[in-house]
Amino acid sequence: MILNDKELKELIRKGELVIEPLDEYQIQPSSIDFKLGNDFLIYPESIDVLNVKDDHYKNKLKKVVVGEEGFIIEPKQFVLATTIEYIKLPDYLTAFVEGRSSLGRLGLFIENAGWVDAGFEGTITLEFFNANSRPIRIYPGMRICQLVFARMNSPAERPYRGKYQGQRGTTASKIYLDEK
């Protein structure tokens, strides 16, 4: 069941759902808007191959920290970013990450693999792709995505405690840590 604004406010008030910082205007009828952080990771063209079994590319990623001048995503560019908000989901709640329609209409695709597992705690790393033929400038602090929350019938038997648990800031792929 997707939670409405009243249910979300109650869970936050009781401390069962933690989102920090959070302003009242971010709470929508059936979602909560999250804002863009100020650090980005770019995969430079000097990387020949991204080998999923090796983290050699990690040290070559370019970290960019911006201020109020914003960040330009070039046409056809892939960039990692983060939310300002730190979230802590209880073991019975999951969330879907959706891009904002207004940004999608500019050609900015926003993902995070689309899903936040029950029990996750941390900031949300977002994947951006500019599908437009024009650069897009975005700004720290702007509403960048929305999370839609759903209550599960019962708590997860194995809530998320994985390799991204507790992440803060833009976090590169850790797929090389997968055992299978």
Instruction: Round to whole Å and give the CA distance between 76 and 128.
Output: 10
Predicted pLDDT at 93: 98
Is residue 51 a part of any domain in this protein?
A: no
Is residue 50 a part of any domain in this protein?
A: no
Predicted pLDDT at 143: 97
Q: Are 42 and 79 in contact (CB under 8 A)?
A: yes
Number of structural domains the chain divides into: 1
* Residues forming beta bridges with residue 111, ordered by sequence position: 127
Domain that holds residue 162: 5-44+59-174
Predicted pLDDT at 38: 97
Predicted pLDDT at 156: 97
Is residue 179 a part of any domain in this protein?
A: no
Is residue 54 a part of any domain in this protein?
A: no
Is residue 49 a part of any domain in this protein?
A: no
State the 10-residue block means of pLDDT for the chain, 180 residues long: 97 98 98 98 86 77 95 97 98 96 95 87 96 98 97 97 95 85
Indicate which residue of 24, 69, 127, 179 is catalytic.
Answer: 127
CATH of residue 72's domain is: 2.70.40.10
Q: What letter does residue 103 receive in the DSSP assignment?
A: H
Is 98 one of the catalytic residues?
Answer: no
- State phi, psi for 111 to the nearest 5 degrees: -140, 175
**What type of residue sits at position 51?**
N
Predicted pLDDT at 7: 98
DSSP secondary structure letters along 62-79: EEEE--TT-EEEPTT-EE
